[in-house]
Each structure stands twice: as structure tokens, then as C-alpha cells.
Amino acid sequence: MLITRQVEFSSSHVCRNPALSEEENREIFGAAANPHGHGHNYVLEVTLSGDPDPVTGMVLDLKELKRILNRAVVEPYDHRFLNYEVPPFERVIPTAENIAIDIWNRLAPHFTDTRGKLHSVRLYETADLYVDYFGETA
Amino acid sequence: MMRVTRRYRFAASHRLHADRLSERENRELYGKCNHPYGHGHNYEVEITVRGPLDARSGRAVDLAALDRLVKREVLDAFDHRNLNAEIPEFEGVVPTSENLAIELHRRLERRWAEMFPGEWPRLDKIRIAETPRNIFEVGEP
């Protein structure tokens, strides 16, 4: 069984690789390289897999999942400039792909086999662009 | 491995009519989709690409390159067109969204290696929403 909870956060970022020239950054990242940054309303869908508990009928109480998502992701990310305020983005380019990996890494310790396993992280940067990450092994 | 999905839109008309069936059979099978002058949809196409992250960019796919490929191979050919009359592959092939998804997949694969010459990224799947309620998906066999 898969269960999914959605949360939103709004953050700013800039996509630049400091090892590259201004011109190369422009070429790779386009407007996303604008030095003062820009923002998105990110939508995050986190999916767990597991069997429903025989007593409660739930894989994991979605209220509990919501609490974990808020504490591990929304609180540190929401209304922040990722490059300046949220590690590891002082050294990792905050592309949607890298943000999804960081969210996975923040969430993974909260989920053990007994209460629902972290299955996937889907991060919408805009309504027309999203990434799916299933962890390193997938 | 990362999967990146980009959504594109185009508007096109079509008529569902199978040449090998009678007029009556066509009407029964396709209903209003068989009306003789055709009708249109705002198609929404999600294209999913998969690959590892490029160390320089932190991205799994060059989105500008994907946009160029999709524009050239799909949007320019299909947007504001009549699929039956203007897409040669639909001569004798009913332009259902199943067949449309297969044709989009074929067109992207045909030019994929020119735009993405390396091992990655690869085309993962194509998902077409003909309307918000009718959705069709094709991936690797």
C-alpha cells in the first residue's frame, strides 16, 4: 500500500555553479542563474509504503506524517533563501533534483520498516515541472 | 536515479473513425467522437526523463534542450492542427490518444540521440491527458 501526503513551502534560490564562468552559468541555468535569486511555491508529495496496521487500519497516521514533514522540511525551508539559509545549499546547487535528494535525506531517518517505509519524494517546482526521487538504490 | 517530468500543452482536433468498420459500427463504437467534422482537445503531455545528476549542473536533464526537442518534434507539428488531416502517421490509423502517445514516443525517440548524445538522460515515459479525465501513458516496453 502506498500513502501520500502533500505539503507546500515557498522558498527562493539561485542556480549557479561557482566553479563556472558567468557565461557558462547563463548557458546552463538561464534565468535561474540571476544573481539575486527568485522563488517558487514548491509542492512536495511524500509517499510511504507499508501494510495497514491490523488494529488501526492505517499504514501511518497521516497526522503523524504531517508533523514529520512540517518539522523536517517545511519549518527549515519555508520562506527561506535556500542558498543562504538552508544547508547543504551553501555548497550544493539547489536545483529541484538536489532539493528532492536533500528532502529524502532529511526524511529517511524518521521512517523505519515498522511504520511505513519512505517510498518516494515528488517535488513540484512549478505546476509544469516536477522531479521524482526514490532514493539511491532506485 | 532521478526522474524529471515536464508538462507541455497543445490544442488539436481529431475524429475517431476506423476505416475497416461500417458507418454504423463507427457511430456505435466511438459515439460523439465519430461526428463527421471532428472536434478538439487541449492536450496536456507530461514527458518524464530519467538519469543521474550531472555533477556540473546538479540536474538530471538540460531542460532547455528537452524543450527544444519537444517543440520541434511535437508541438510545432501538432499544435492547432487536425490530426487526421495533417499528421501523415494518422493516415489509416485512428488518432486515439493511445495512438497519439505511441506516435509522440516514436518521434522523441527518433531524434533523442541527436539532442542527448550521452548514455543519459533517457526518455522514461509519456503521459497524455486528452481531457482532465482521460489519461494515457506509454513507457519503455
pLDDT in tens, B44-95: 999 999 999 999 999 999 999 999 999 999 999 999 999 999 999 999 999 9
- Separation of alpha carbons A135 and A113, rounded Å: 15
Of the candidates B28, B80, B86, B137, the residue annotated as catalytic is: B80
Q: How many CB pairs under 8 A join A and B?
A: 55
Q: How many CA atoms are closer than 13 Å to the CA of B80, on its beta-carbon side?
A: 1
**Is A127 an interface residue toward B (CB < 8 Å)?**
yes
**Model confidence at B37, in pLDDT bands (50, 70, 90)?**
very high
Q: Is B13 helix (H, G, I), strand (E, B) or coil?
A: strand
Instruction: Name all domains of chain B by residue range, CATH numbers in brackets.
Output: 2-139 (3.30.479.10)
* CATH class of the domain comprising A2-11+43-133: alpha beta
- Structure pTM? 0.93
Domain boundaries, chain A: 2-11+43-133
Does pLDDT of B141 surpass 80? no
DSSP B99-130: HHHHHHHHHHHHHHHHH--SS--EEEEEEEEE
SS3 sequence of A14-55: CCCCCCCCHHHHHHHHHHHHCCCCEEEEEEEEEEEECCCCCC
Minimum distance, in Å, between the CA of residue B59 and any CA atom of chain A: 6
Mean of per-residue pLDDT scores for chain B:
96
**Is A15 an interface residue toward B (CB < 8 Å)?**
yes
Per-residue pLDDT tens over the stretch A14-62: 999 999 999 999 999 999 999 999 999 999 999 999 999 999 899 999 9
Minimum distance, in Å, between the CA of residue B5 and any CA atom of chain A: 5
Per-residue pLDDT tens over the stretch A97-117: 999 999 999 999 999 767 789
Is B114 annotated as catalytic?
no
Q: Which helix (H) or strand (E) holds A124?
A: strand A117-126
